[in-house]
Amino acid sequence: MTRYSAFAVAREAFRNHQGWTRAWASPEPKRRYDAIIIGAGGHGLATAYYLGKNHGIRNVAILEKGWLGGGNTGRNTTIIRSNYLQDPSAAIYEKARSLYEELSQDLNYNVMFSPRGVMMLAQTEHEIRGYKRTAHANALQGVDTEFIGPERVKKLCPIIEIRGPRYPVLGALWQPRGGTARHDAVAWGYARKCSEMGMDVIQKCEVTGIRTEGGKVVGVTTSRGDIDCDKLGIVVAGHSGHVADMAGFRLPIESVALQALVSEPIKPCMDVVVMANTVHGYMSQSDKGEMVIGGGADGYNNYTQRGSFHHIEETVRALVETFPMISRLKMLRMWGGIVDMTGDRSPIISKTPVEGVFINCGWGTGGFKAIPGSGWATAEMIAKGEPGPLAEAFGLERFREGRFIDESVAAGVAH
Amino acid sequence: MLILTCPYCGVACDETELAPGGEAHLKRFGPGSTDEEFEGYLFQRENPRGVHFERWRHAYGCGKWFHAARDTVTMEVFGTYSAQVTEPPEEIRAKISAKHPGWSWREFS
Ligand SMILES: Cc1cc2nc3c(=O)[nH]c(=O)nc-3n(C[C@H](O)[C@H](O)[C@H](O)COP(=O)(O)OP(=O)(O)OC[C@H]3O[C@@H](n4cnc5c(N)ncnc54)[C@H](O)[C@@H]3O)c2cc1C
Ligand SMILES: [Zn+2]
């Protein structure tokens, strides 16, 4: 496998780029693996990567029914931040954010992490109080955030209309170390490293059944035959309920469509990420110049991966008030992903009623930012059989015991 | 866009006229129930890929709650029915069976 470097780019330039090798292999599934991960999204791939890197478990297959990163990982608006309210959330999201800082070096793959700063607008009195509270909580958690006034908002993002008619900008929660990264590159970078460690990333391989003996997992049934394993990680986001059903347990999860859209590319006009949670809209500018816009989620279960026009209308209508200059932009594409929502809007990293089966899900509308930290914590749980300090608060039993990690209050939408 | 017909006023409403109310036919548990029962009632959901039963409210119309039977993958609507029942009426079940022989859901009521 070619190592990527400035030298390699120069060398290839002199030989018509004939020397690049494939970034990952496409092997046939083996009969048996020590561990199988279902789902080659960011979380599944990162889990496999840290299983190999941190715990030396490398006889691993990652099974994907579609293509690498073709689920929510390749459909999200890539906002990375860690300014959550509750301690367990701040710990895992901050771990992820700090891993993102060095991820390109670690993976030898440019994930284009851009810590350009994330601003969450306060547009009601209630939000001002909420975000001030979060800023205080973050100070105690060691997460670098600050509540800033409207003048500072205008200075950081001149295209904002702070005196908007319905929702004037009253301030913002500002995390200067937040930002964006290239979503596909995160999936591809992890896949390349997994493949390099000898793991099998197997695409177009749908898991259709989970085989158990005496309450313990022994393998999976797939569209490409039966494969045995000692340990199984289910990391399938919106499809979690359906896959858990194969193992015979139910989840506190509902799957709904979340949508996003991008505009035609324009000249650079905005170098921060802005989230406006009261009106359910958020926006950033991609390196290509497109305005990347995300909106609200559907209110009812579905698996259609497309979404509906009225959400787009709602989002854009609201954003035009705050960013009047986008009113004449043409939109290029819209798409949807199926997100896995839990009751407290926090993820699940947990053992399950079936021995040897572990689950990572419930990241809902906001799990891209968590990929490295979540993979780190899930790998530790799968390797040791018990959740470690980052994961332990996120167990399934919290719903029965009433120990919620309530982030729905902290952020109306949680991207 | 999802269109459901309100069983009370007969209006074919698009989803902007309706408020979604989540999974239908949940059995309530309260004081005296076990932790598992209460957890199940509050949080565990069927979340099926396929046939599903839901509660909806005709929010910008008559304001009443009703039930809908729907396919979450194809978005096909099998029908809507009164909120005053604990399981879907026979005609709706028959319609679903015609499309999906052998379909199942969790126990009703
Ligand atoms: C429109 C949109 C905007 C978003 N914006 C943000 C944002 O700005 N910031 C942020 O942090 N998060 C955001 N998110 C959320 C984020 O995308 C997800 O939380 C995250 O990508 C989930 O990653 P994952 O690896 O768990 O799931 P996925 O990437 O969905 O991967 C799961 C994989 O499992 C596969 N799979 C499913 N069933 C099977 C089976 N039976 N057999 C084999 N494989 C199977 C799927 O094909 C899929 O590839 C957004 C999501 C959407 C949809
Ligand atoms: Zn009505």
Q: Which residues 6+ apart lie within 8 Å of B93 measured at CB?
A: none
- pLDDT, chain B, mean: 95
CA–CA separation, B45 and A180 (whole Å): 33
Q: Residue A231 to residues A129, A239, A362: CA-CA distances in angstroms?
A: 45, 19, 20
The pLDDT confidence band at residue A297, using thresholds 50, 70 and 90, is: confident
DSSP string, B5-63: E-TTT--EEEGGG-EEEEESSPPP--TTS-HHHHHHHHT-B---SSEEEEEEE-TTTT-
Strands A60-63 vs A200-202: parallel, antiparallel or unpaired: parallel
A44: phi then psi, degrees, rounded to nearest 5: -65, -45
Backbone angles phi, psi at A148, to 5 degrees: -120, 155
Per-residue pLDDT at A165: 85
Q: Give chain A's mean pLDDT.
A: 95
Q: B41-83: per-residue pLDDT in tens?
A: 999 999 999 999 999 999 999 999 999 999 999 999 999 999 9
| DSSP 8-state class, residue A108 | T
pLDDT > 90 in chain A, percent = 90
Residue type, A284: S
Among A254, A310, A399, beta carbon nearest to B39:
A399
- Of the candidates A317, A315, A383, A396, the one whose C-alpha atom is nearest the C-alpha of residue A350 is A396
Whether residue A410 has pLDDT greater than 80: no
Chain-centroid distance, C-alpha A75: 10
What's the half-sphere exposure (Cβ side, CA atoms, 13 Å) at A84? Answer: 29
Confidence at residue A295, expressed as pLDDT on a 0 to 100 scale: 83
d(CA A190, CA A371): 10
The helix/strand/coil state of A98 is: helix
The whole-angstrom separation of Cα B11 and Cα B14 is 9
Indicate whether residue A63 lines ligand 1 (CB < 6 A). yes
Q: Which residue has the tokens 């209006």?
A: B11
pLDDT digits (tens, 9 = 90+) for A356-376: 999 999 999 999 999 999 999
What integer pLDDT is reported at residue B107 of this predicted model? Answer: 86
Q: What is the CATH superfamily name and number for domain A118-180+255-342?
A: D-Amino Acid Oxidase, subunit A, domain 2 (3.30.9.10)
Q: Which residues of B touch A254 (CB under 8 A)?
A: 22-23, 45, 47
B73 in contact with chain A, both atoms CB, cutoff 8 A: yes
Question: Could B47 and A255 be called an inter-chain contact, meaning their C-beta atoms sit closer than 8 Å?
Answer: yes
Q: Is there a contact between B47 and A251 if contact means CB atoms under 8 Å apart?
A: yes
The domain spans of chain B are 3-99
Domain boundaries, chain A: 31-82+85-104+183-251+344-401, 118-180+255-342
Q: Residue B109 — pLDDT band, cuts 50, 70, 90?
A: low
Beta bridge partners of B19: B57
Distance B5 CA to ligand 2 centre (A): 8
A222 Cβ closer than 6 Å to some ligand 1 atom = no
Decide if B20 and A300 are in contact by the 8 Å CB cutoff: yes
Q: What is the pLDDT of residues A325-335, one digit of tens each?
A: 999 999 999 99
Task: Say which residues have a Cβ less than 8 Å from residue B43's Cβ, sequence separation at least 6.
Answer: A252, A342, A343, A399
The stretch A43-69 carries a mean pLDDT of 98
* Facing A254 at nearest CB: one of B14, B42, B47: B47
Tell me the pLDDT band of A409, cut-offs 50, 70 and 90.
low
Q: Which tokens is A63 given?
A: 């099974």
Ligand nearest to the CA of residue A81, numbered in listed order: 1
Atom of ligand 1 nearest to the CA of A369: 11
Residue with CA closest to ligand 1 atom 2: A76
Quick one: fold of B3-99? Folate-binding fold (3.30.2270)
Q: Is the pLDDT of residue A172 over 90?
A: yes
Q: Which fold has domain A31-82+85-104+183-251+344-401?
A: FAD/NAD(P)-binding domain (3.50.50)
Nearest to A257, CA basis, from A236, A238, A229, A233 = A238
**Separation in Å, CA of B20 to nearest CA in chain A:** 6
pTM: 0.96
User: Does residue A214 contact residue A308 with C-beta atoms inside 8 Å?
Assistant: no
Q: Whose CA is nearest to atom 41 of ligand 1?
A: A207
Q: What are A201's two structure tokens?
A: 């990333």
Probe ligand 1: pick from A68, A72, A256, max atoms within 8 Å of CB?
Answer: A72
Q: Which tens digits make up the pLDDT trace of A175-191? A: 999 999 999 999 999 99
Joined together, the tokens standing for residue A258 give 């979340």
Q: Do A299 and B20 touch (CB under 8 A)?
A: yes
Residue A251 has pLDDT above 80, yes or no: yes
**pLDDT higher than threshold 90 for residue A307:** no
In the numeric block, the tokens 């120990």 are attached to A403
A299 touches chain B (CB under 8 A): yes
Distance separating alpha carbons of residues A411 and A414, to the nearest angstrom: 5
Q: Which residues of A311-332 are buried (b: 16+ CB within 10 A; e: fewer)?
A: bbebbbebbbbbbeebeebeee
Residue in the block written with tokens 């197997």? A202
Contact indicator for A84, A228 with CB cutoff of 8 Å: no
Residue A306 in tokens: 């497309």
Local structure of A381: helix, strand or coil? helix
What's the pLDDT score for residue A52? 98
- Do you know the residue count of chain A? 415
Q: What confidence tens digit (pLDDT) does each residue in A99-156 have? A: 999 999 999 999 999 999 999 999 999 999 999 999 999 999 999 999 999 999 999 9
Strand A60-63 vs strand A253-265: parallel, antiparallel, or unpaired? unpaired
Residue A27 has pLDDT above 50, yes or no: yes
